């Protein structure tokens, strides 16, 4: 029943009159600029025009007496007026639609026009979007309480968790509303009309939200356009305006609670969970008629009203319930593929009243059902593609967070390489599940992996140029990246050096374009130390990402409600920085960045007290001060470019939480010591300290969610990392720690069939066409030249890190060594391998024929072969990703597809269905006339799945590997070789950034499986005195995972068995370079093996 309307919130004193005065003043100014100014210009042009034109014509023969200058001033005035008029013309329709006007480069006066037009529209009845009131929103959003239990994106959680307590929040606003992306655009007027029944009540919504920080970091102002995704507070009587309101406050008896559908739910399971009786599902259906048209078909993220007469019951969701009261049979799509057996899924209760969300608990993440996958395609998949179906987390990282995402994922990739290197045979590295997995997918959907590398390259190139000119590094107020280039904002003008150039002659602004040909190659810039190692992302503007150099400020004092979220974002980025070779970061205070220091002990040190951290900082300062004196330089900026002393200038950064006045004073004194050395202090305190900051220090108030940089005309929306997102990042780093034990490999879904013995192998039918087409191992090995894997450009995975980017390409050296060994006659087999019977050579089999049915290949660059249809070239990339996802995740619905392919977006049927239709056309029709991608309406459960004839190379690989590993003999080895022959490079290599965000965990399982098969085959061939076959197998595996050290040991033994001493040394050198890139040592077993082999082997003569 509708709740009684509460008393309207009192408006702020003077708010209406002040708005009216601002509107009147803005109107007068607009009239003056749009009408008065051109009249003035017209009069001035008439006065100076004739004389100016004549003087311009005689400029070459007579001396100008000022007429040309006056004419030029008039022309400039007309141009400026025209630009302002265009800005106004752009701003009026934009604000009528509730949108920001497009920002055109070089168009003057846009900000002024927006302010003036907005102030006028504010007092008009339609608020910020007059046109929106003419038609209701196409898809009205449902209002929800501010403590809603339904799953929310991280951006909304962050906004709710860290919104400052302004006076407006104490008004009766128990309902919230999410602004929708619809046409016509929503406005305060249309929301008030829709949710409150009276558009004139828009001012109440404005009063309730003024000063709040929205999900994208923008501070709400009533005179500015509202944006989709913003969560607005509404007067509490808004519940009466929408039958599907999503209130989760404690409801009086007789009112309707609400529930948000999660993956795996059905009406009967919701009735059992929320009402205590699954037979009451018809009551839920009856209450939601008009919203739910089919009781067998409900979707995640739908909001359902629940009868208010029965108490809600809290409990885990029932994944597959069979209702007794003729319950609906179809449930919502299941979550992602189950995690490993020894990993507990993340769970969160769903109830009508939400529990408090802790940093380690995520609402709405449904537990993965305990079941065995139905097909080989899903074996080993721990992707989070569907765990986020209840709410995208991507917006949190959209504001400047692409660099933070890239930094975290780069470190994650390096740590997983270490894990892959140390894991045992038939074991797998642990991978995150639940909330952490969802956050990883959100990071992958927003990362910009190439940007940190570009920024680092530009800064190091400039450092080399400055050092060559005997100059010092300029002091930076800010570093701005806008997608087209990098701009340095200097504290003082200085002549730019390559690759930078002055912006419009301003020597305090240097700019480097992303396509600059003056950037030095990687081998050159690797010789210089990081010029600005304390560079971190502060946040973003509407069009750019803004970074600051902490060393420039010396001390940054964070205050306000978002201080810890900002501090943790800085800490995570420092821990994963691409702009420093090493950092010494001291953390003190329980709330600073809990759990981070033990995960990165080489960079972070946790101190129990501030005094202990300060003593270490003082020692660091004294050491660097002595070094500066010895060098005879007067500043850090010049000393850092000295090649012989560069490593001395590692910054010491102290992060402190809840610093009181005395502590802040001591830290300020520490930061102000002279000479300035490499270091900075960042504090977070709830109140502003009375102790004055040192010169250059920055008091950064986070209350508004945005700040203006000192001495720079930039207003930046702060990058924040709230508790839940921070906890997920820590969980990702912890799960990828090298000390984490590996887990058992998930078994293949079907047990391998019994293989015939070698004598009957010739009569046995081939397992697959690929297996039949592969030559016998002994034939290939004894017939002269070993067939080597094709050389690939390498893994384009951004997570590999800059130091590993060249490993895949440089592995060609090892391939060459195998080629050389193959050209030599076989020496006597040494004791390193057992002798084998001489096997007769066999003719090489023909190349495998192209498949007659579609084969989707992911073991290398992703593509589709055997497709019988066509598609426009511009669609192929997305169609290939959809096909790859679909073949590896059969039997899921469109919600899971949307979240995997278009994460963070609301996808309509008009967007999705054309892509499915194009994919069906591309794949074509089988010989029997059936479609390779059946129409979803023809399937039993309305889920996506290909016809049985469509498969992937990963499924074929698993089948061949399982059968080959289950037996022995030449035929079994042929199967293993057939499996490796399908591998064309690192799985999913070459995919563009922010695509295939669902594929990372699958790729890790694929890499492990490929390495295991290569190791198994290599060991078998060595045991059969076939070192060439062992070399082929290990080279295949190392082409995919050069970090797999146990493959090197097999490779070393094969070279030794061939008597190829030079090849052995080349392979050992390759492993040594790999260890240098990974920052680790060889394993003891490898060291002992190399010592033994190198001591006993003699070079070939």
Structure confidence by residue, pLDDT tens digits, 380-400:
333 333 333 334 444 444 434
Q: What percent of the chain has pLDDT over 90?
A: 34
Q: What is the average pLDDT across 1038-1057?
A: 93
Report the pLDDT value the prediction gives residue 326, as an integer from 0 to 100: 39
Report the pLDDT value the prediction gives residue 248, as an integer from 0 to 100: 37
Tens of pLDDT, residues 657-679: 877 777 778 888 888 888 888 89
pLDDT band at 191 (very low <50, low <70, confident <90, very high): confident
pLDDT band at 458 (very low <50, low <70, confident <90, very high): very high
Q: Is the pLDDT of residue 502 over 80?
A: yes
Strands 485-490 and 427-428: unpaired
Peptide bond into 724 cis (omega under 30): no
Q: What is the average pLDDT across 610-633?
A: 87
Per the DSSP assignment, residues forming a β-bridge with 559 are 701
Domains annotated for the chain, with CATH where assigned, are 15-132 (no CATH), 257-306 (3.10.350.10), 450-721 (3.40.50), 806-836+1026-1101 (no CATH)
Report the pLDDT value the prediction gives residue 12, as an integer from 0 to 100: 42
Q: Are 327 and 341 in contact (CB under 8 A)?
A: no
The segment with the largest mean pLDDT, out of 154-168, 174-188, 649-663, is 649-663
Report the pLDDT value the prediction gives residue 156, as an integer from 0 to 100: 40
| E strand spans, 385-492 | 427-428, 476-481, 485-490
Angle value at C-alpha 397, between 143 and 542, nearest 5 degrees: 85
Q: What is the average pLDDT across 129-151?
A: 37
Report the pLDDT value the prediction gives residue 347, as an integer from 0 to 100: 35
- Report which of residues 1022 and 756 the model is more confident about: 1022
Tens of pLDDT, residues 233-273: 888 777 444 433 333 333 343 456 777 777 567 787 788 88
pLDDT band at 1077 (very low <50, low <70, confident <90, very high): confident
The helices-and-strands tally (H runs, E runs) of the chain is 33, 24
- State the DSSP H helix or E strand holding residue 540, giving kind and residue range, or none if neither: strand 535-540
Q: What percent of the chain has pLDDT over 70?
A: 68
- Report which of residues 135 and 32 the model is more confident about: 32
Give Cα separations from 219 to 156, 718, 733 (angstroms): 14, 11, 32
Q: What is the average pLDDT across 126-144?
A: 38
Torsion over CA: 146, 150, 156, 157 (sign): positive
Spatial separation of the C-alpha atoms in residues 467 and 827, rounded to whole Å:
55
Closest of 318, 285, 247, 233 to residue 3, by C-alpha: 247
- State the DSSP H helix or E strand holding residue 417, giving kind and residue range, or none if neither: helix 401-422
Per the DSSP assignment, residues forming a β-bridge with 509 are 489
Q: What is the mean pLDDT of the chain?
A: 74
pLDDT band at 789 (very low <50, low <70, confident <90, very high): very low
DSSP secondary-structure letter at 378?
G
Q: Is the pLDDT of residue 1054 over 70?
A: yes
Q: Is the pLDDT of residue 204 over 80?
A: yes
Spatial separation of the C-alpha atoms in residues 252 and 254, rounded to whole Å:
6
DSSP secondary-structure letter at 137?
-
Q: What is the average pLDDT across 570-579?
A: 93
Q: What is the average pLDDT across 599-627?
A: 90
Spatial separation of the C-alpha atoms in residues 982 and 1014, rounded to whole Å:
12
In 3-state terms, what secondary structure has residue 791? coil
Q: Which of 16-20, 595-599, 673-677 shows the lowest mean pLDDT across its residues? A: 16-20
Peptide bond into 752 cis (omega under 30): no
Spatial separation of the C-alpha atoms in residues 682 and 540, rounded to whole Å:
20
Closest of 218, 124, 147, 211 to residue 179, by C-alpha: 218
Report the pLDDT value the prediction gives residue 401, as an integer from 0 to 100: 64
Q: How many CB atoms lie within 10 A of CB 926?
A: 17
């Amino acid at each position: 029943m509708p709740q009684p309307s509460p008393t309207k919130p009192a408006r702020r004193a003077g708010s209406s009159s002040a708005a009216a005065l601002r509107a009147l003043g803005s109107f007068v100014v607009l009239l003056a600029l749009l009408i008065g100014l051109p009249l003035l210009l017209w009069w001035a042009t008439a006065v100076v025009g004739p004389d100016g034109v004549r003087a311009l014509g005689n400029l070459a023969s007579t001396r100008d007496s000022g007429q040309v200058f006056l004419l030029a001033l008039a022309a400039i005035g007309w141009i400026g007026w025209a630009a302002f008029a265009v800005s106004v013309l752009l701003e009026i329709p934009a604000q009528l639609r509730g949108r920001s006007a497009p920002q055109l480069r070089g168009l003057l006066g846009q900000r002024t026009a927006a302010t003036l037009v907005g102030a006028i529209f504010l007092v008009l009845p339609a608020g910020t979007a007059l046109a929106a009131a003419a038609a209701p929103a196409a898809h009205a959003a449902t209002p929800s309480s501010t403590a809603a239990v339904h799953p929310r994106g991280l951006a909304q959680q962050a906004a709710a968790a860290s919104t400052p307590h302004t006076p407006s929040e104490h008004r009766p606003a128990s309902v919230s509303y999410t602004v929708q992306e619809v046409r016509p655009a929503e406005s305060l007027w249309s929301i008030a009309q829709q949710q409150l029944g009276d558009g004139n009540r828009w001012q109440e919504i404005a009063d309730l939200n003024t000063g709040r920080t929205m999900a994208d970091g923008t501070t709400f102002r009533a005179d500015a356009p509202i944006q989709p995704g913003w969560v607005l507070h509404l007067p509490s009587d808004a519940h009466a305006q929408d039958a599907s309101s999503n209130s989760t406050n404690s409801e009086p008896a007789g009112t309707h609670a609400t529930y948000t559908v999660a993956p795996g739910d059905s009406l009967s399971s919701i009735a059992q969970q929320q009402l205590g009786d699954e037979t009451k599902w018809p009551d839920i259906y009856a209450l939601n008629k008009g919203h739910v048209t089919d009781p067998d078909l409900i979707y995640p993220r739908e909001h359902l009203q629940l009868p208010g007469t029965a108490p809600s019951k809290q409990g885990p969701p029932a994944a597959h319930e069979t209702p007794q009261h003729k319950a609906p049979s179809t449930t919502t799509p299941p979550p992602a593929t189950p995690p490993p057996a020894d990993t507990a899924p993340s769970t969160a209760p769903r109830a009508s009243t939400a529990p408090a969300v802790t940093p380690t608990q995520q609402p709405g993440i449904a537990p993965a059902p305990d079941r065995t996958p139905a097909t080989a395609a899903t074996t080993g998949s721990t992707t989070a593609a569907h765990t986020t179906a209840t709410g995208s987390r991507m917006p949190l990282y959209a504001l400047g967070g692409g660099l933070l995402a890239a930094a975290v994922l780069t470190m994650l990739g390096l740590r997983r390489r270490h894990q892959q290197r140390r894991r045992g045979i038939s074991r797998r590295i642990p991978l995150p599940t639940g909330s952490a997995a969802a956050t990883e997918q959100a990071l992958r959907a927003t990362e910009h992996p190439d940007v940190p590398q570009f920024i680092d390259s530009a800064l190091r190139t400039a450092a080399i140029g400055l050092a060559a000119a005997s100059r010092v590094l300029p002091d930076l107020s800010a570093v701005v990246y806008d997608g087209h280039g990098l701009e340095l904002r200097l504290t003082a003008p200085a002549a730019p050096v390559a690759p930078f150039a002055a912006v419009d002659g301003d020597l305090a602004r240097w700019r480097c374009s992303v396509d600059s040909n003056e950037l030095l190659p990687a081998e050159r810039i690797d010789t210089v130390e990081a010029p600005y190692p304390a560079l971190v992302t502060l946040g973003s503007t509407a069009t750019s990402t803004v970074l600051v150099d902490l060393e420039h400020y010396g001390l940054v004092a964070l205050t306000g409600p978002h201080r810890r979220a900002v501090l943790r974002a800085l800490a995570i980025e420092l821990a994963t920085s691409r702009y420093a070779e090493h950092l010494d970061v001291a953390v003190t205070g329980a709330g600073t960045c809990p759990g981070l220091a033990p995960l990165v002990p080489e960079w972070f040190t946790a101190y129990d007290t501030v005094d202990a951290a300060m003593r270490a900082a003082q020692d660091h300062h004294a050491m660097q001060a002595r070094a500066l004196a010895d060098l005879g330089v007067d500043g850090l900026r010049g000393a850092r470019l000295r090649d012989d002393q560069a490593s001395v200038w590692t910054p010491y950064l102290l992060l402190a939480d809840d610093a009181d006045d005395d502590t802040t004073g001591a830290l300020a004194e520490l930061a102000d010591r002279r000479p300035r050395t490499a270091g900075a202090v960042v504090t977070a305190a709830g109140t502003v300290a009375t102790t004055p900051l040192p010169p250059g220090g920055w008091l950064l108030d986070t209350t508004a969610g945005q700040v203006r940089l000192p001495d720079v005309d930039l207003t930046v929306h702060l990058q924040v990392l709230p508790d839940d997102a921070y906890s997920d990042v820590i969980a990702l780093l912890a799960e990828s720690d090298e000390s984490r034990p590996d887990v058992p490999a998930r078994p293949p879904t079907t047990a391998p069939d019994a293989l015939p013995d070698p004598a009957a192998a010739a009569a046995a039918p081939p397992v697959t066409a690929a297996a039949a087409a592969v030559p016998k191992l002994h034939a290939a090995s004894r017939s002269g030249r070993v067939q080597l894997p094709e050389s690939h450009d390498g893994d384009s995975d951004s997570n590999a890190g800059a130091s590993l980017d060249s490993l895949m390409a440089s592995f060609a050296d090892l391939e060459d060594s195998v080629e050389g060994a193959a050209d030599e006659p076989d020496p006597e087999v040494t004791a390193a391998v057992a002798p084998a019977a001489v096997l007769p050579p066999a003719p090489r089999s023909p190349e495998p024929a192209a498949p007659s049915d579609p084969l989707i290949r992911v073991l290398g660059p992703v593509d589709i072969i055997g497709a019988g249809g066509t598609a426009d070239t511009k669609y192929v990339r997305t169609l290939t990703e959809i096909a790859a996802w679909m073949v590896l995740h059969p039997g899921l619905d469109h919600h899971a597809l949307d979240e995997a392919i278009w994460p963070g977006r609301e996808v309509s049927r008009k967007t999705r269905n054309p892509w499915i239709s194009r994919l069906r056309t591309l794949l074509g029709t089988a010989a029997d006339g059936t479609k390779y991608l059946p129409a979803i309406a023809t399937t039993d459960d309305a889920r996506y799945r290909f016809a049985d004839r469509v498969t992937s190379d990963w499924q074929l690989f698993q089948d061949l590997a399982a059968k080959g590993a289950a037996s022995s003999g030449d035929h079994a080895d042929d199967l293993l070789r057939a499996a490796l022959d399908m591998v064309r490079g690192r799985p999913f290599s070459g995919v563009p950034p922010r695509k295939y965000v669902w594929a990372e965990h699958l790729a890790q399982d694929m890499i492990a499986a490929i390495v295991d098969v290569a190791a198994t085959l290599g060991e078998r061939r060595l045991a059969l005195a076939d070192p060439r076959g062992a070399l082929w197998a290990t080279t295949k595996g190392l082409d995919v995972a050069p970090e797999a050290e146990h493959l090197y040991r097999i490779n070393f033994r094969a070279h030794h068995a061939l008597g190829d001493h030079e090849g052995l040394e080349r392979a050992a050198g390759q492993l040594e370079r790999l260890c240098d890139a990974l920052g680790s040592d060889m394993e003891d077993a490898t060291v002992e093996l190399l010592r033994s082999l190198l001591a006993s082997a003699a070079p070939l003569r």
